[in-house]
Structure 1
């Protein structure tokens, strides 16, 4: 018994002495790492903290009241917890886990704050001692990150009178060549510049893009490059408001399959409601007697990148209060690397439009009658008579449809030369002119 007691006392002494030794070693390594960091950031920047204590088993440290400053940025955090640190600023710094609490970031023209930021599997770029000496942080396209989680982000840009808030966000698998994932809960943007806008998103999820590669392309060339692979975009509870509501989307889902030669895209928008932009009384929607558009949109498209063509097969628009439209179309002059400019450049090669009317035909005729200050019934009879007497079979078919709008109407466009998308509305409004109909290759029928 005495031998056992002696052994336990000896073991306890070894543990205590060993623990003190490990703590001393950890303290020494932590102080050395902080000294290396201060040397690396150079004389133009500073790194300070109130207290620092080593985390022995986690091979890291806990720091309080942390401040980092350089000529272009100031970052503060009430607490920083670092774990599993390997490497160095010269050979590449690997940080297993980094947690920052109550973060404030200030730079000229913008400020940001977060209640917490948790980074895991962080690899800083291998840039040698000059990594921290530039007036800006390491370029985001050259980092590697297994995951990042942030809470209560607020960004303010006073010059643009813009505020952005995010309740929660998670980014996974960030780095060049990696398939990344972004998940955001409760995003809000307020733009106070006239015309003011408020944008809200209940939930946003993006799966598939190489975010780091896209950012690298944007920084190096000014535009995003095309990459192959499958991507999925999912947005819920999207709202856009000004002084009055402009847009509500219950759910938007898009899936893209991209190869080197073509992109396949399927998009579904449900619970869509759109109101006219101010001044609302001058909008086409109000002129034909509707307060808003409500419906569902489903589109399947194929983009051929080599020749800049697109096929819609189909674009389906279902508005229960107005009608149901299905469009099959071939377009050319598609700006494959900048689809935001598609309406300005795209041309219609051919199109087939099927329309099942619910109320739109009567609303259009009533709106035209009001614009001409004619009684709606008299104007409707006048139009139907003129169309019935027309020698053009297409105009006759349109007359039959207006007399009985519960029939399905088919409009086919086969222009001799492609016509710009933006010109289509103007051309259709003049479709009764034989020369315009010929330019459109227009034919109307009741299948």
Structure 2
């Protein structure tokens, strides 16, 4: 059985709204999925109960592990990043045991349990603790969805020291727009100092459509004073750096993460004391707003019939599920989390919270779309704009969907061929 646990994770990164971290850890130790589901917020927690190691995480926070073969018995090494695992193994004389494919990501929304370790090591047992009910959201879908978004942002704001500035990663799109307007409305309603709030838009080499779109968004609501364009040189968008930071090789996630890296670097250089950022990551996954035609593996039936497909991938029991990375946004969370960590920001992605996802998963998509692609793509704008108007009274402008990597620069970086990304990943870990 596991002889030792080495925990390299930063416990302070947990954002739990309804209890202390010690209480949440005790709950994970029980191994009771229903109790774990009562933990509100973002968390990545490990607990030991006798000979069983239990781990649980939500979408935003990555948590990886590695079984170290020691003479005294196997040890469980826990970390946020693959390179943390590699460094610890090399520094402690176990470098020859490392390969990135031997590392494991705890899949989001599941309790992962490891007990006896034989030869070969058995797979861990994964039990779902978050299981949202389909077709359960009633009435005004937008009011319910944005209402829960507002509840979550309110709880986050209450955990931040009242003098700290708050930055929104802002493109003027539906998700970042909803996050900005909701945050603005809460701060205004609660009498918080609005001078703390900024919306940052990336423009690589002074180009890209996002800066124009974001400016139009703000001017339509007379909120231009909160907006700032962060202009960065093209040299800051680098494939090897992006892969090394995000620790993956999926083209779309690396492209997006490269832009987040450039934006975070630009904010950090202009605002050395800035700490707290909030973004709209996870909004596309929640309301299933990705072009199905771009992925030959998907159909509208698979998207609407599989629970949290975009958040979790095909599921922990599927042959396509990656033990090294997990799947869906559970895997892709590093595209936003890792760049913010690299530049010492504390990021918050409210759309990734289980409480917000639960409302989104409860929307009756099949009934509303009748399996029609165009109706599905239009749905997010309708739901979110109605929700924002219900919450704030403001009419939020809706623009045509554009990925971050397409709007922040003149053209998409690195191309879509998979091999350069894989080569960069292998170069990162000398494998």
Give the alignment's TM-score, normalised by structure 2.
0.20
Q: Which protein, 1 or 2, shows the higher relative CO under an 8 Å CA cutoff with sep ≥ 6?
A: 2
Structure with the larger strand share? 1
Give the alignment's TM-score, normalised by structure 1.
0.20
* Larger Cα-atom Rg: 1
